[in-house]
Amino acid sequence: MNRVVRRILALSAAGLMFTAVPATAAPSGGFNDWSCRPAAAHPRPVVTAHGLFGNGPGNFLAIGPALAAKGYCVFTPTYGQSVLPGIGGTDYVQNSAKEFGGYVDKVLAETGAAKVDVVGHSEGGIMPRYYLKNYGGAAKVNHFVALAPPNHGTTMSGIAELAKLFPGAAELLVGGLCKACLQLIRDSDFVRELNAGGETQPGVRYTVIVSTTDFLVTPISTSFLTGPDVRNIVIQDEHPGVFVGHIGLAYDSISIGYVTAALA
């Protein structure tokens, strides 16, 4: 049975890797343009945070150009590349958050802006929260928009809970290859530490966007934040019957519409 669980976990991780990004995309569509200077209509650059096994340009191949077309300066870093170049988010979330903070500082210095807005997907929807809480990010971020963030850890539709019944099975996901994986599981030490003392930071606005047809970050309530300046959005509340999967949240026109509306 232990072998079965290992195979399930391997397939799940492979599925995340396969669907995280279509490919490493070259900067295009007006984003990652370091000559961009924020206009009065959009005074804050947008810095994105990709998901597990993803990369910035690929994960935001749709959102990046959409925001750039509306006049935003958009920057899409790839963080946490602990295994291979172009495959991000695998390092410990704490390390990724520190790296992300350095990138935000670079964007602020290059653009002359006082603050940025952040758009994150999946792991990129929880990692910046560590930056906001522990690395001074709350003073540099105005609005954090998160798509399907595992804010309270994910059960992966029960797979993560099943793995707990078989000691050692979860090691398949770690083994030096994915240090962040077990941190994103429901009730992990990392999740408990992050949420202790309050889930949000003063002065930062939060928008969380989820889909009932997301079967990777589950249950969807795990994404919701509690705080004084939080809006939790379920796509199907306004668009009943629409299928938007976990990966699709970064590419679907409906979810992109929610992102652009939140930043407006």
pLDDT band (50, 70, 90) for residue 163:
low
Residue 49: which residues within 8 A CB-CB, separation 6 or more?
77, 79, 100, 118, 119, 120, 121, 123, 124, 125, 127, 128
Which one is predicted more confidently, 179 or 121?
Answer: 121
pLDDT of residue 16: 45
Residue 252: which residues within 8 A CB-CB, separation 6 or more?
244
Mean per-residue pLDDT, 28-34: 81
pLDDT of residue 128: 99
Mean per-residue pLDDT, 93-110: 99
21 pLDDT exceeds 60? no
**What is the DSSP-derived secondary structure letter of residue 170?**
G
Kindly report the CATH number assigned to the domain that includes residue 199. 3.40.50.1820
25 pLDDT exceeds 50? no
Indicate left, alpha or beta for 224 from its phi (over 0: left) and psi (-120 to 50: alpha). beta
- Say how many domains are in the chain: 1
Domain that holds residue 208: 2-263
Neighbours of 210 (CB within 10 A): 28
